[in-house]
Amino acid sequence: MITEEIKDFLNSQKLGYVATVSLDGKPNISPKGTIIGWTAETLAFADIRSPDTMKNLNDNPNVEINVIDPFIRKGYLFQGKARILEDDTLYQEILNHYRKNGIKSPINSIVLVDVSNVVEVVSPLYDLGISEVEIKSKWQKYFATL
Protein backbone atom coordinates (compact mmCIF):
# COMPACT_ATOMS: atom_id res chain seq x y z
CA MET A 1 0.00 0.00 0.00
CA ILE A 2 2.70 2.51 1.02
CA THR A 3 5.28 1.82 -1.65
CA GLU A 4 8.92 2.89 -1.67
CA GLU A 5 7.90 5.55 -4.21
CA ILE A 6 5.35 6.94 -1.74
CA LYS A 7 7.88 6.81 1.12
CA ASP A 8 10.40 8.71 -1.04
CA PHE A 9 7.71 11.27 -1.88
CA LEU A 10 6.89 11.77 1.80
CA ASN A 11 10.57 12.17 2.63
CA SER A 12 10.90 14.86 -0.05
CA GLN A 13 7.95 16.90 1.22
CA LYS A 14 8.31 19.17 4.20
CA LEU A 15 4.64 19.77 4.99
CA GLY A 16 1.45 17.72 5.13
CA TYR A 17 -1.89 18.12 6.82
CA VAL A 18 -3.58 15.86 9.36
CA ALA A 19 -7.37 16.02 9.66
CA THR A 20 -9.18 14.86 12.79
CA VAL A 21 -12.66 15.35 14.22
CA SER A 22 -13.61 16.17 17.81
CA LEU A 23 -16.30 14.32 19.75
CA ASP A 24 -18.74 17.14 19.00
CA GLY A 25 -18.02 16.90 15.25
CA LYS A 26 -15.70 19.89 14.83
CA PRO A 27 -12.98 19.33 12.22
CA ASN A 28 -9.35 20.06 12.96
CA ILE A 29 -6.64 20.33 10.32
CA SER A 30 -3.09 20.53 11.59
CA PRO A 31 0.10 21.06 9.56
CA LYS A 32 2.82 18.50 10.17
CA GLY A 33 6.44 18.54 9.02
CA THR A 34 7.23 15.02 10.25
CA ILE A 35 4.99 12.69 8.22
CA ILE A 36 6.88 9.57 7.15
CA GLY A 37 6.05 6.20 5.68
CA TRP A 38 7.14 3.89 8.48
CA THR A 39 6.13 0.54 7.00
CA ALA A 40 4.15 -0.60 3.98
CA GLU A 41 0.98 -0.26 6.08
CA THR A 42 1.76 2.61 8.47
CA LEU A 43 2.59 6.29 8.53
CA ALA A 44 4.04 8.13 11.50
CA PHE A 45 4.17 11.74 12.60
CA ALA A 46 5.47 13.46 15.71
CA ASP A 47 3.36 15.28 18.26
CA ILE A 48 5.48 18.37 18.70
CA ARG A 49 2.79 20.97 19.35
CA SER A 50 -0.57 19.36 18.57
CA PRO A 51 -2.91 19.51 21.58
CA ASP A 52 -6.14 19.57 19.53
CA THR A 53 -5.00 16.80 17.20
CA MET A 54 -3.97 14.60 20.11
CA LYS A 55 -7.20 15.21 22.05
CA ASN A 56 -9.23 14.37 18.95
CA LEU A 57 -7.22 11.20 18.28
CA ASN A 58 -7.69 10.06 21.87
CA ASP A 59 -11.45 10.45 21.40
CA ASN A 60 -11.69 9.31 17.77
CA PRO A 61 -8.73 7.55 16.10
CA ASN A 62 -9.97 8.09 12.53
CA VAL A 63 -7.63 10.33 10.59
CA GLU A 64 -6.96 11.64 7.10
CA ILE A 65 -3.54 12.85 6.00
CA ASN A 66 -2.92 14.88 2.88
CA VAL A 67 0.57 15.51 1.50
CA ILE A 68 0.90 17.45 -1.77
CA ASP A 69 3.97 18.68 -3.63
CA PRO A 70 3.20 22.42 -3.96
CA PHE A 71 5.12 22.71 -7.22
CA ILE A 72 3.85 19.77 -9.26
CA ARG A 73 0.43 19.73 -7.58
CA LYS A 74 0.42 15.99 -7.02
CA GLY A 75 0.43 13.93 -3.86
CA TYR A 76 -1.46 11.47 -1.71
CA LEU A 77 -4.43 11.26 0.61
CA PHE A 78 -4.19 8.62 3.35
CA GLN A 79 -7.03 7.38 5.54
CA GLY A 80 -6.64 5.24 8.62
CA LYS A 81 -6.74 4.79 12.36
CA ALA A 82 -4.20 6.37 14.67
CA ARG A 83 -2.38 4.90 17.66
CA ILE A 84 -0.50 7.15 20.04
CA LEU A 85 2.92 5.88 21.10
CA GLU A 86 4.57 7.13 24.27
CA ASP A 87 7.90 5.85 25.52
CA ASP A 88 7.81 2.25 24.33
CA THR A 89 10.25 0.42 22.06
CA LEU A 90 8.56 1.49 18.81
CA TYR A 91 8.34 5.08 20.07
CA GLN A 92 12.10 5.03 20.73
CA GLU A 93 12.82 3.54 17.30
CA ILE A 94 10.80 6.20 15.46
CA LEU A 95 12.15 8.95 17.73
CA ASN A 96 15.69 7.85 16.85
CA HIS A 97 14.76 8.05 13.16
CA TYR A 98 13.57 11.65 13.62
CA ARG A 99 16.69 12.62 15.58
CA LYS A 100 18.98 11.09 12.92
CA ASN A 101 17.10 13.15 10.32
CA GLY A 102 17.58 16.45 12.12
CA ILE A 103 14.33 16.90 14.08
CA LYS A 104 15.46 18.73 17.21
CA SER A 105 12.12 19.86 18.68
CA PRO A 106 10.83 18.14 21.81
CA ILE A 107 8.52 15.28 20.79
CA ASN A 108 5.67 14.57 23.22
CA SER A 109 4.47 11.40 21.52
CA ILE A 110 4.44 9.73 18.13
CA VAL A 111 1.33 8.92 16.18
CA LEU A 112 1.35 5.72 14.16
CA VAL A 113 -1.42 5.51 11.56
CA ASP A 114 -2.61 2.14 10.32
CA VAL A 115 -3.46 3.13 6.76
CA SER A 116 -6.61 1.62 5.27
CA ASN A 117 -6.72 3.61 2.02
CA VAL A 118 -4.31 5.58 -0.17
CA VAL A 119 -5.53 7.79 -3.00
CA GLU A 120 -3.32 9.65 -5.45
CA VAL A 121 -4.20 13.35 -5.63
CA VAL A 122 -3.66 15.16 -8.94
CA SER A 123 -4.50 18.77 -9.78
CA PRO A 124 -7.27 19.37 -12.33
CA LEU A 125 -4.69 21.40 -14.29
CA TYR A 126 -3.47 18.09 -15.72
CA ASP A 127 -6.97 17.50 -17.15
CA LEU A 128 -6.40 20.58 -19.31
CA GLY A 129 -3.35 18.99 -20.91
CA ILE A 130 -0.85 21.10 -18.99
CA SER A 131 2.38 19.19 -18.41
CA GLU A 132 4.08 18.60 -15.07
CA VAL A 133 7.05 20.67 -16.28
CA GLU A 134 4.75 23.62 -17.09
CA ILE A 135 2.92 23.38 -13.77
CA LYS A 136 6.16 23.14 -11.81
CA SER A 137 7.63 26.11 -13.67
CA LYS A 138 4.51 28.21 -13.02
CA TRP A 139 4.58 27.57 -9.27
CA GLN A 140 8.37 27.98 -8.97
CA LYS A 141 8.02 31.41 -10.59
CA TYR A 142 5.09 32.28 -8.36
CA PHE A 143 6.90 31.36 -5.12
CA ALA A 144 10.09 33.09 -6.29
CA THR A 145 8.21 36.41 -6.44
CA LEU A 146 6.92 36.26 -2.85
Question: Among residues of the chain, what percentage have pLDDT more than 70?
Answer: 100
CA distance 99 to 91: 12
Q: Provide mean pLDDT across the span 67-72.
A: 96
pLDDT at site 146: 80
How many structural domains comprise the chain? 1
Q: Does 87 score more than 90 pLDDT?
A: no
The boundaries of the domain holding residue 98 are 4-144
Q: Which of the four pLDDT bands, split at 50, 70 and 90, describes residue 14?
A: confident
CATH of the domain at 71: 2.30.110.10
User: Nearest 5°: phi and psi at 40?
Assistant: -70, -15
pLDDT at site 18: 98
Average pLDDT, the chain: 95
Higher-pLDDT residue of 146 and 143 is 143
Q: Whose CA is closest to 59, among 21, 91, 32?
A: 21
Q: Whose CA is closest to 137, among 51, 67, 59, 72?
A: 72
104-133 exposure pattern, b = at least 16 Cβ within 10 A, e = fewer: eeebebbbbbebeebeeeebeeeeeeeebe
Q: Does 65 score more than 90 pLDDT?
A: yes
Tens digits of residue pLDDT in 74-84: 999 999 999 99
Q: Provide mean pLDDT across the span 47-62.
A: 95
Q: Is 72 helix (H, G, I), strand (E, B) or coil?
A: coil
CA distance 55 to 85: 14
DSSP string, 78-99: EEEEEEEE-SSHHHHHHHHHHH
Tens digits of residue pLDDT in 95-115: 999 999 999 999 999 999 999
